A and B are shown apart, each in its own frame.
Chain A
Amino acid sequence: MNKILIIMWKDISLLWRDRTALILVIAGPLALTLGMGLVTGSFNRSDDAPAVSEIPVAIVDHDDGELAQPLIDLFTGPDLSDLVSAEVWEDEAAALEEVRAGRVAAVIVIPDGFSQSFVPDMTTGDSPAPVALQVYGDPGSPIRAGIVRSIAEEFTARAETGVTTIRLSLTELATSGAVPPEQLPDVGRALSEGLLTGDASTSTSGLIRVRTETAAAGDDDQGFNLLSYFAPAMALLFLMYAVTLGARTLLSERREGTLARMLAAPVTPGQVLGGKVAGIFLGGFIQMAVLILLTTVMFRLNWGNPLGVLLLVAAAALAATGWGLLIASLSSNDSQISAMGMALTLIFGIVSGSFIPGQSFGPVMNAAARLTPNRWALDGFMSLAAGDGLAGIAAPVAALSVMAVVLFVASAMLMRRRQTDLLTG
């Protein structure tokens, strides 16, 4: 064990002295996180406010109908007060000027006839021509504008569902003969009033709950913060790169003769490999820990339960080390490791959705994402950031551990098959 620690410590010392690599694996993810934050508008707000919360929204109501008010209530009500900060504007042109200037993230224009467009003709059952809700977004804050747009879209979708339900109910009542044909318009009007008043508010309450869950990324008023996603995503991306750098030393040590020299000392091949693996793991672990510390200080991120973060970082570093070893066992020289490692880093980053939060590429790609340590670890970090305890990361930690074991075994088998080649060239 002592020899393993000696070799591991030597590798950490070498990593510490490799300033270029150090800058790359620490400054790289920080810069990318910062860049993502700027692109998504996460830094447009004042210093003390959470990065994505209290999104400024202007609402212009030309409709003044029964559906307009619930929509305004939804945006101005207490349930979304952490996420959006909405104001009703009289002057549409002035509101649009605000969004052009970047002072509000989006303007919602409720056109005249919007509410009536949901009320079907009570005699024919046909719907009137649709009147679309207009949402103007600030191109400088695409994510925040997107959040506003998705809330508005869900609101209208719920209203449309209600209309479809009324139409189906009227058809059913007519065909079954439960209601005489001459009474159908009255029944229809009653159902519509329910949609536009009480039922609609029930619907939007449902909507509010959905949004509240998403917004509650941290339960300490942190609000929905995209940096909570990008920081671990970028850290994990560079974790893969860091373990690749570590794995590369396995072959560079062979090339430089230090591996053979170690094996000529009273050290077993298992201890040498154990030391190298421990060095790769610890290097990755330290990199993640430093990034978590820095992003906590610099971006005021709340990573969640510290013990959970520690466990998750360890599991992610272990699984990434497994991938690094597999690459090393499949490569003939350190250039091959670098090329394969870089390719795997990028592929894992894309497949796991590290660059686009909440992306979905369909079932095949989603299944492929489960082969990456990035996806599992990201799920875990999101869960911790949402305030979940250790139970919330049980599945990610278990999956990452299994992944590590499988990759270690596979790498060991491959290395054993070519041990002479790997260790002595």
Chain B
Amino acid sequence: MTESILTTKDLRKTFGEFEAVKGISFSILRGEIFSLLGPNGAGKTTTINMLSCLIEATGGTAEIAGHAIPGDTLNVRRAIGVVPQEIALYDALSARDNLRFWGRLYGMSGRELDRRIDEVLAQVGLSDRARDAVKTFSGGMKRRINIAAGLLHRPQLLFMDEPTVGIDPQSRRRILDMVQELRREGMTVLYTTHYMEEAEELSDRVGIIDQGRLIALGTQDELKKVVGEQETLRLHLAEEAAAAVSSVAGSNGDVAPESGGPIALFSNLPGVLGASAEDHTILVNVADAGEALPGVVGRANDLGLRVRSIDIQEPNLEAVFLHLTGRGLRD
């Protein structure tokens, strides 16, 4: 894993006045799984679209498998496989006919194509549904065929843009296992996600992206060093966290909702470094869990938050993001 298959230098993209990507530079080594982790709207899909030659970069350059962007776009497209965020398949065609169409676009044909279709269908566990129209598939099955279409021509580098969005946990598990299998086969993958757990489970290295900037890059251990010995207290509430915080903030005269939500509620406690809300959980980033815990629990009780349980979590990518941006990944 020493040779770079992808290198970007100061890659930028603006849409009118809006600067979606603000000069991103990173490399991906052959055989590694590299995750771009960031919240929705951070610039992940725009970056993939530039690297897939779908949109022109406003500035900067990139090189994929020795082919330059801009310049050698056709060879770049031959080298990459793309699994788009949306399910880009033809509902009326069967799984096999879909794969046959996409394979042909990559110059495959005849027995070689048929054999390869059989392989990828087996890989995604849908051999028995090959002849069925995609419209009869569940969301998770469609996602798997979506991935199969990207793998068909054995790309040197596979872009997977949030491949688990909107599917059930079982299908998500299956897709994550599939990516692990790809790693074992030596496939290089650029994986974008806003799920911290996916990036942690899959990635050799992670780039954390926020508001168009790459704010951190490295292995998970390297990134976790950024937050030092910080820990995270996870307060599981009986109700949806953002709503609870909002109602508390509304009834509490000295904490206005616009002042920053959970951060405003807990940040003045000793040892608290930051806080964010996620689903039914409030995440409180602390220097020492043992020291901060009584104060945090007391504040929650004072505010009338119905805490059902508390976890203490070792440093993770969520904490890294919180540390770097002051916000949670899903804020």
A positions within 8 Å CB-CB of B: 3, 6-7, 10, 13-14, 17-18, 256-258, 260-268, 420, 424
Contacts and interface: CB of A to CB of B under 8 A. Distances in A.
Interface stretch (B103-111, B208-216, B238-246): B103-111
A262 B55 contact: no
B49 A424 contact: yes
Contacts of B85: 257
B26 interface: no
Interface string B101-120: 11011110000000000000
B24 interface: no
B92 interface: yes
A17 B77 contact: no
Contacts of A260: 49, 54, 84, 88
Given A257-B84, A420-B55, A266 B78 contact: yes
Given A14-B92, A265-B77, A424-B55, A6 B86 contact: no
B52 interface: yes
A393 to B, nearest CB: 37
Contact of B105 (A3, A14, A18): A3
Given A3-B105, A6-B104, A18-B92, A264 B82 contact: yes
B142 to A, nearest CB: 12
B87 A266 contact: no
Contacts of B107: 266
User: Which interface class (under 10, 10 to 19, 20 to 34, 35 or more) fits B?
Assistant: 20 to 34
B86 A256 contact: yes
A6 B92 contact: no
B204 interface: no
B283 interface: no
B97 interface: yes
A18 B90 CA distance: 12
B80 interface: yes
Contacts of B54: 260, 263-264, 424
B89 interface: yes
B92 to A, nearest CB: 4
Contacts of A3: 105
A10 B49 contact: no
B93 A256 contact: no
B54 to A, nearest CB: 5
A17 B90 CA distance: 11
Given A266-B77, A267-B105, A424-B55, A261 B93 contact: no
Nearest to B91: A256
Interface in B56-113: 74-75, 77-78, 80, 82, 84-90, 92-93, 97, 101-102, 104-107
A264 B53 contact: yes
Contact of B92 (A17, A263, A268): A17
14 contacts: A13-B97, A257-B85, A258-B89, A260-B54, A260-B84, A261-B82, A264-B52, A264-B80, A265-B102, A265-B105, A266-B75, A266-B78, A266-B106, A420-B55
